[in-house]
Amino acid sequence: MKYGFTVPNNFGVDDPADVVGLAVEAEELGFDSVWVNHHVLNVGYVWDRLGERPYHDALVTLTWIAAHTSRVRLGTSVLVMPYLHPMVLAKQLATLDRLSGGRLVVGLGVGSLPEENELLGAEYDDRGQLSNEFIEVLDLLWTQPSADYKGQHYSFEGAVSSPKPLQQPRPPILIGGNRRPALRRVGRLGDGWHPMMLTPESAAKRLPVIREAADAAGRQGIPAEVSVRLTANELTPELAAEYSAVGVTELVVSWNTGDVAEISAGLQAFAAEHGITTSGDR
């Protein structure tokens, strides 16, 4: 089993250097990946948790983490597609993949905070179709010398995006979400699945939906990665073994606090309990 860590860029830590420091510590302890959270505005449940305290930007934080680490994979958990533009994001992520030596994992989701969509002027009701097109556009911009696309939300001809990612044909795209539309999106368009807070039984029940959609699209072997995000204090070695038995390849843990010292202690205790070592032997 691989283990990842989601940094608390979303928990009101005053100094973003402390957030980056936790990512560096996770790499030193032997974690396989570090991940950032994504929202733009403190609204809805984000406001309820933070008020006016900081929610540090996902890609700026991840870039700074990339500059201070050398081995861990760098993931987004998850970028909310309706808040972004695929052409801009394609360049940002390709640049980050090259700067990091090909360590990027692109977690994408449709979002579920209508108040934020409204303030940003972002699509909400048709966000599923927009997100399908968004992923198709990313793929074209990363894999084609010149891209043409005609959809309901994006339409263009002769778009050249450079640089291309270091990882070929593209960085892995892991799609978040637990409902059937998201599962089908993984099968048709993604490389892997990145759900939150699912039990092993729930993951096992949903995986056939992904595989059926992938088979129908001629994409055998999808999902290549199943990366489940959990709260750290809920995960025991015995439960990790249950996840592994149903096909989960990575468990990504977080501590729901902005207390940097508490998270640091938690990382060390978690690594010891789950046999995480810098050698990679598990």
For the chain, domains (ranges, CATH) are: 2-273 (3.20.20.30)
Largest CA distance in the chain: 53
Burial (CB count <10 Å: 0-12, 13-18, 19+), residue 176: buried
SS3 at position 254: strand
**Token couple for 199:** 């039990």
Closest listed residue to residue 83, CA positions, set 55, 60, 109, 44? 109
The Cα 141–Cα 153 span in angstroms is 16
**Burial class of residue 267 in the structure, from the number of CB atoms within 10 Å of its CB (0-12 exposed, 13-18 middle, 19+ buried):** buried
Would you say 203 and 248 are in contact if contact means Cβ atoms under 8 Å apart? yes
pTM, full prediction: 0.97
Spatial CA neighbour of 223 closest among 197, 196, 247: 247
pLDDT in tens, the chain (282 residues): 999 999 999 999 999 999 999 999 999 999 999 999 999 999 999 999 999 999 999 999 999 999 999 999 999 999 999 999 999 999 999 999 999 999 999 999 999 999 999 999 999 999 999 999 999 999 999 999 999 999 999 999 999 999 999 999 999 999 999 999 999 999 999 999 999 999 999 999 999 999 999 999 999 999 999 999 999 999 999 999 999 999 999 999 999 999 999 999 999 999 999 999 986 556
